[in-house]
Amino acid sequence: MLFLTEIIQFIMYMTVKYNIDDSHGISHSFDILHFVNEIYDDECLKNPKLKEQENIIFISALLHDMCDKKYMKEDNGMREIQTFLEKLDSSSGSLKPLEVEMIQTIIQTMSYSKVKKQGFPDLEEYQTAYHIVRESDLLCAYDVDRSMIFHLYNETKNMDSAYECALDLFYNRVFKHEEDNLILLDTTKRLIPELKAKSLFRLNSWKKIITRPKL
């Protein structure tokens, strides 16, 4: 990707400016990038025209939390993202206005809370691109440590409480992604069982650690 280094530098800038913690910062951007990479390659085998939307898919995934309302006013973050995208340039060219528009649209409609409240948007030929980005973000949610890190930074300084918050999140939200009809793509469905098994193992491991009487 011609723009990758500039995008990563922008993410690093935004995380410092808005005090975005590790759960939604550069590590999360890397994690979602790898999920997108795998799902995108699989989907391109079925629909080669997706290759024309590669910039939209990968850039939306990388930047999706740089306007998260947990850390800033969403409108402020979106303005910074738009300005960055419009200035983004390389020796081979810049993003097309339609690409910038679709990146913004995906970012603004993909969150779990918005989907639960409003449903999926109708993005016509960009619908699969949208789901690739959205479902890659859902796969990142199976990281138990990420959940605990978020709660420690934002809601509690107590490890017991962070664990209980994570436990509640996983059993009332993350483990219900399929039941809630949030998973549509075959590759995502294939990846979930292993990720769920890892989550359960990690939750159990944290329970053992937290309940050690001398720790």
pLDDT of 92 above 60: no
- CB count in 10 Å sphere of residue 168: 11
Mean pLDDT, rounded, for 94-119: 95
Separation of alpha carbons 70 and 131, rounded Å: 23
Mean pLDDT along residues 81-97 = 82
pLDDT for the residue numbered 1: 62
Instruction: Read off the pLDDT band of 88 (50, 70, 90).
Output: confident
State the average pLDDT for the chain: 95
Euclidean distance between CA atoms 175 and 199, whole angstroms: 9
Return d(Cα 86, Cα 30) in angstroms, integer. 23
pLDDT at 81: 97
pLDDT in the model for residue 172? 97
Q: What is the pTM of this model?
A: 0.95
Q: Which residues contact 122 (CB under 8 A, 6 or more apart)?
A: none
Q: How confident is the model at residue 120 (pLDDT cuts 50, 70, 90)?
A: very high
pLDDT at 113 over 90: yes
pLDDT score of 210: 93
Residue type at position 50: L
- pLDDT of residue 215 exceeding 80, the answer is no
pLDDT tens for each residue of 141-190:
999 999 999 999 998 789 999 999 999 999 999 999 999 999 999 999 99
